[in-house]
Structure 1
Amino acid sequence: MLKLPRIVWDQDKLLHNAAYLDELCRKSEYPINWVPVTKVVSGDTEIIRTLINTGCRFLADSRIENLKSIKEISDSCQTMLLRLPGIHEAEDVVKYADISLVSEIETIKKLQDKACLLGVNHKIIVMIELGDLREGILAENLIKVGQFILKQSNIEWLGIGTNLTCYGGVIPSEEIMLELAAIKQQVERELNHSLEIISGGNSSILPLLMEQKIPKGINQIRLGESLFFGRESAYGKNIPGMYNDVFTLQAEVIEVKEKNSIPRGTLGMNAFGVKPVFIDRGIHKRAIVALGEQDVPVSDLTPLNRSIEIIGSSSDHLILDVTGTNTRVGDVLSFKVNYKSLLYAMTSKYVNKKQTSTEQLVGNNALTY
């Protein structure tokens, strides 16, 4: 039975993108490891299993539930919690995250308590604020924080890191990376503590990597958007040689009618409290698809059939202008997704997920050469 709507993903294209990133990091002037970030696929077991089967022994995610899924598939796969741990989830963090990113002494205290209780060591990367204004301590406070960390019996201080672009849109630069590398040297000089990992950022750092401008000392990057969408996130450009259509959203047409393009009667607010604005297209051919805002942000979808246009939506109906096409009831239409719409669709219990192969997908020639 065909279960719709659904996200279909192409294993061959995903494997190609992973291999491309492997090669890109291998060609770096200085050794760099990359960690696949799986949060956009919401812990999908088949995708996680595929990545692990390629040889990935380290996966990162923002949700404890997804890290637990990874551990259930492979207990030997190392996990990293990307979002700062909450005080009340500290025990689960220690159980399911081999490494967590931290910025608060109170959180470190709680992780120490739970790690001691469970009889394990927990590894941490201290996040440094370098301009983007999301998570991270100020660099001038690191030595004091570091002194506290080194007194903890069950906390292993593995490294430092930073995050850019996600909130403030700050683009990683060679100067910022040099600043991070200098902070590592300061820690090792003043605290006599060697830092194994210097985590330089996410897919927005790829332009620097491709230009061989990541300085010595930065030895880890965390990549999700580039892996799943074949693009860097600093300027939003596709990376030549990578696939940008690993994922496709499919949904069924449940009505096709010729109707007016302007509602009749006095207009008020729609289902989302917004007074809509309509374009007068006259009488035209309209289709309704069984998909809506409860499943995915509709404005982030692009029909693969370029003759079809999205003209509106409600909670569970997507309305299309299909004039000039032979769209019929029962047809399955395909849509290109971006990072945001994939995130929503993979999180929704109403959207099915299915692995497929390249030849089964519409629009399978999207290598961005």
Structure 2
Amino acid sequence: MSEVVQSVILDDANNSLIILDQTLLPGEKRFIELKTEKDVWDAIYELKVRGAPAIGITAAYAIYLFVKKYDVQSYEQLYEHFKKTKEYLASSRPTAVNLFWALNRMEERLKKESKNTISVIKTALKEEADNIYKEDEKVCKSIGEYALSLLKPGFGLLTHCNPGTIATARYGTALAPIYLGNERGYDFKVFAGETRPLLQGARLTTWELKQAGVDVTLICDNMASIVMKEGKIQAVLVGCDRVAANGDTANKIGTSSVAILAKYYNIPFYVCAPISTIDLDCKSGEDIKIEIRPDKEITTKWYTKPMVPEGVKAYNPAFDVTDEELITAIITEKGIVYPPFSENLKKIL
């Protein structure tokens, strides 16, 4: 990769978290400082930091920083404050399971250290958050290697949303095989859907792939069919915010449409998902809560003047669920999972 952009940085000395504000890309590359619980909640909700792994990393470092500042004398007092902060941060994004996974992992470490001094507990939480970050980089590279084994040099690849390096610790999930292939001369031709409602494919995926020297072409979301029909796409690679026990996956709105088209044109549809996104307590996609975003994101946000008549209702779900029957394989850091997912997801875990 010609440039690695670290989107989440712990500034331990100043008790703050530094994040790349992804809402300003590609026009401006600005890092902002988060110091309060509300700062972090707003950054996650407003998608200043986004991507399931990056959200998990942010939550882990944030809750460490807030625990670090607690002036308490006992474990019981510390745990009471921790629980309140955890519940508050967890309310920022209901769909991304990595948020809850990271917070739960931090809580388990807290409980494990309950017999130690407050100082030792705080150090242990810093170590756990660091581990979450380091592990994610390894996870993404491993996903990339497995995914790359399914691809051939010169392939045309379609991706959706931004499953890239700025959404993770490094490499990304669905973009990881593209970066690795780029390093090895695979000469992929990547087509990125613009991805409504926040244009994360147009603003973010094309931005980071261009910086890395990858051949990338932007298409509107409703152009996926024609590029498939014209034979320009040999595989689809998408990320994921949650995998249900039966293999249904939740990802940015429009992913399900791409999967339906891929099925029709007999193009493999691969979901790149860290183990941390697999939620066996969630039986199917029907159990995944879909976040509804503000109307303005599709009516006014990207325009000088409103693009719809005043008073017209808007429906703006941020995610949709891709049915397991549309998915060729789910690629994890531990290997490639093929149907039947209800059986094989359990095995990979």
In our comparison, the structure showing a higher alpha carbon Rg is: 1
Answer 1 or 2: which has greater strand percent: 1
* Larger relative contact order (Cα-Cα within 8 Å, sequence gap ≥ 6): 1
Please state which structure has a larger fraction of its residues in helix. 2
Give the alignment's TM-score, normalised by structure 2.
Answer: 0.28
Q: How high is the TM-score relative to the length of structure 1?
A: 0.27
